[in-house]
Amino acid sequence: MTRDRLGQVAGYVTLAVFLVAALLSLIGPLQDSPGEANLYALQADAFLHGRLHLTQHFHDTAVFQGRFYVPFPPFPALLVMPIVALVGLHQTNMVLVSLLLAVGSVFVLASVFRRLAVPRQTAIWLLAAFFLGTSYWGSVHMSRGVWFTAHIVSAACLLLAINEALGKRRGLLVGLLLGFSFLSRQFTLFYAPFLAALLWWRSEQAPIRRRWLRLLWLAVGVGLCGAGYLWFNWARFGNPLDTGYNYLRLGGMLQERFARHGLFSARYLWFNLYEMFVQGFHVDFTDASQLLGWERNPFGTSLVVASPFLLLAFRARWNRWVLAAAWVGTVAILAPTMLYYNNGWWQINAQRFSMDFVPVLILLTALGAKRGLGPYWKGAILWSLFLNALAWMIIPALA
């Protein structure tokens, strides 16, 4: 066996070990995920009973005129309605739902890489990087709660939209999928120009009328989802632009921030910038001797430290309009995120809000790696996988 072949086999074995570790880390969450713990399952149950509101207050519900509402956009609840109807609220395991969506998303992203002509070996490394080396691993792990479920659903819909835009290019389906992503994580709507540019570019051999029709259908799909969201807000709060976030009952640090500066403020900028791009992996030792009692930082690890392989995105070469739209959409998502009153807290490794734009960054990363992944970049991926294993397996075992 040649040295190159031996190194390739060793790399695949290492990736397989991390995959097994990720699955093992899910045993506990899979065993402790009653539907009542997830607001989307509760919202789905409310829909099935003909209600928009919940019957009692839960953590992170909005209180408006004596009723309790889920302030988060509704698509994940609509998605799990058949499951809640079939097995009941308590038996609806949202971690299992997220795991199944993750498995499906692996095949979708692999299809995207094939359409982009990414070499097979590079694609395998980047699949591991996205699912095991970003906040995706932690999002599946924590999807017992509503916040992380939203990221898994949104990422799946966004990847499906990209795959469709690269493939059959059915504008209405691309628009609906982006709309479903928006109805899970609102800021992903900023990728509408990227998908429009992608549809236009991939349709360059088609007659001009067909290209415009595809963009029109894209707008129709997004518009239908947007109209549904406006009605949903109006039906609950009497205002189509009122999502209910202002009616959250907060406590502690978040209440202090909200009371002083509101949901969005320039006062949050430096904290969020530091956490997104600078903060390292941080562990406190909490016992009296400072030798035991591992406690992980709930504000997470910066994107640069947790997932450095994403820097390859800056080497991407593509159609200039598509590439520009991808970066503009990413910056448009980052800008309000940097002004938000929290950075995704609670999280352990990486930054969970980065899951709004990492599904597009991984495409740019793949394009930047089309000439192959050298030892440095493979090392960066392995580093990212190791940090997630440290966060979700090693430290919990030592604590």
Q: Is the pLDDT of residue 279 over 70?
A: yes
pTM greater than 0.75 (yes/no): yes
Q: What is the percent of the chain where pLDDT is above 70? A: 98
DSSP for 123-190, please give it. HHHHHHHHHHSSHHHHHHHTTTSHHHHHHHHHHHHHHHHHHHHHTT--HHHHHHHHHHHHTTSGGGGG
**Averaged pLDDT for residues 30-38:** 94
**pLDDT tier at 4, thresholds 50, 70, 90:** low
The pLDDT value given to residue 271: 94
Residue range 106-111: average pLDDT?
A: 97
Q: Report the distance separating Cα 343 and Cα 261, nearest Å.
A: 15
Higher pLDDT, 228 or 350: 228
Per-residue pLDDT band at 295 (split at 50, 70, 90): confident
pLDDT confidence band for 3 (50 / 70 / 90): low
Check whether 114 has a pLDDT greater than 90.
yes
| pLDDT at position 5 over 90 | no
Q: Is 90 exceeded by the pLDDT of residue 399?
A: no
Averaged pLDDT score across all residues of the chain: 93
| Phi, then psi, of 88 in degrees rounded to 5 | 95, 160
Q: What's the CA gap between 324 and 162, in Å, rounded?
A: 16
List pLDDT tens digits, range 312-355: 999 999 999 999 999 999 999 999 999 999 998 888 888 999 99
Q: How far apart are CA 350 and CA 385, in angstroms?
A: 11
